[in-house]
């Protein structure tokens, strides 16, 4: 396994488009998000892996245990790895025991033009306004570091991703993001500062982001930690269907 250009035209078809967090994967493969790729052959790859700067990694389809093991080892030669592992993939290949795992939930993508989002937008309190993110506003946001890690810079996120805030005057009461976009799907997320939780602002913020994404012809995907009850409730309110469990398997770098 060795380095390969993430924009190699053969790579996207090697990966299952139904993988959890697929917008991140395909955003990297499109060259819109930073990341790296390794493959069994730099010119004619048949097995590959992709990794984001935050350590999250994906392996391509295979039924050969030896190929999978070589790919995971290739990632671990010089990096910590957080391998996205679908909950329904047992029976093909089996990853070695990770140092730790994080239980996650993924929700199938939905149409942001659905009428429910228009109804939620109508619930915007009269004392709040919607402000698209700009460099000054994003610099004040709670998820600034996540966005910069995902895109490399504030400017790159504003050029390729989407984000907005609900504001009370100059105070941020909710932040809604679409940081990962790939193959026509945007993964969305929302954060509400602690003093403003419990008022439904998260779902209203996502409803306004949905209008932006619908204008770009994108579907919306949601994922969260399995123990994040607040996020699960917001996903249900937004109309995301039953969750599918998956894991992030954490591996330390291999010793030289």
Q: What is the average per-residue pLDDT within 194-218?
A: 96
pLDDT at residue number 109: 96
Phi, psi of 116 (to 5 degrees): -60, -30
| Mean pLDDT over the full length of the chain | 95
pLDDT at residue number 138: 95
Residues above pLDDT 90, as percent of the chain: 94
What's the pLDDT tens digit per position in 219-251?
Answer: 999 999 999 999 999 999 999 989 999 999 999
pLDDT band for 189, please (50, 70, 90 cuts): very high
What's the pLDDT tens digit per position in 15-57?
Answer: 999 999 999 999 999 999 999 999 999 999 999 999 999 999 9
Residue 214 has pLDDT above 80, yes or no: yes
- Ramachandran sector of residue 158 (left: φ over 0; alpha: ψ -120 to 50; beta: rest): alpha
The set of long-range contacts for 251-256, using a CB threshold of 8 Å and a minimum separation of 24, is 251/72, 251/75, 251/76, 251/80, 251/81, 251/82, 251/83, 251/98, 251/99, 252/76, 252/80, 252/99, 253/76, 253/77, 253/78, 253/79, 253/80, 254/73, 254/76, 254/77
What's the pLDDT tens digit per position in 56-89?
Answer: 999 999 999 999 999 999 999 989 999 999 976 5
The helix-helix angle for 229-238 and 201-215 (nearest 10°) equals: 50
pLDDT at residue number 241: 87
Residue 90 has pLDDT above 80, yes or no: no
Residue 6 has pLDDT above 70, yes or no: yes
Residue 136 has pLDDT above 70, yes or no: yes
């Amino acid at each position: 396994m060795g380095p390969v250009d993430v924009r190699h035209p053969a790579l996207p078809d090697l990966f299952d488009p139904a993988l959890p967090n697929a917008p991140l994967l395909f955003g990297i493969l499109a060259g819109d998000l930073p990341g790296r790729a390794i493959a069994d052959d730099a010119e004619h790859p048949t097995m590959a892996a992709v990794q984001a700067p935050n350590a999250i990694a994906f392996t391509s389809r295979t039924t050969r245990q030896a190929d999978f093991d070589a790919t995971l080892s290739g990632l671990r030669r010089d990096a910590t790895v957080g391998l996205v592992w679908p909950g329904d993939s047992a029976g093909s290949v089996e990853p070695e025991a990770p140092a730790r795992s994080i239980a996650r939930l993924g929700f199938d993508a939905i149409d942001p033009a659905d009428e429910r989002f228009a109804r939620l937008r109508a619930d915007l309190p009269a004392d709040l306004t919607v402000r698209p993110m700009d460099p000054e506003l994003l610099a004040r946001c709670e998820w600034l570091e996540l966005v910069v890690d995902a895109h490399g810079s504030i400017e790159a996120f504003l050029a390729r991703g989407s984000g907005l805030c609900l504001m009370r005057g100059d105070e941020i009461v909710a932040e809604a993001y679409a940081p990962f976009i790939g193959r026509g799907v945007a993964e969305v997320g929302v954060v509400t500062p602690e003093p403003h939780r419990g008022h439904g602002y998260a779902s209203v913020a996502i409803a306004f982001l949905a209008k932006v994404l619908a204008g770009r012809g994108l579907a919306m995907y949601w994922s969260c930690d399995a123990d994040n009850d607040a996020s699960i409730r917001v996903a249900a309110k937004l109309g995301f269907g039953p969750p599918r469990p998956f894991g992030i398997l954490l591996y330390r770098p291999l010793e030289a």
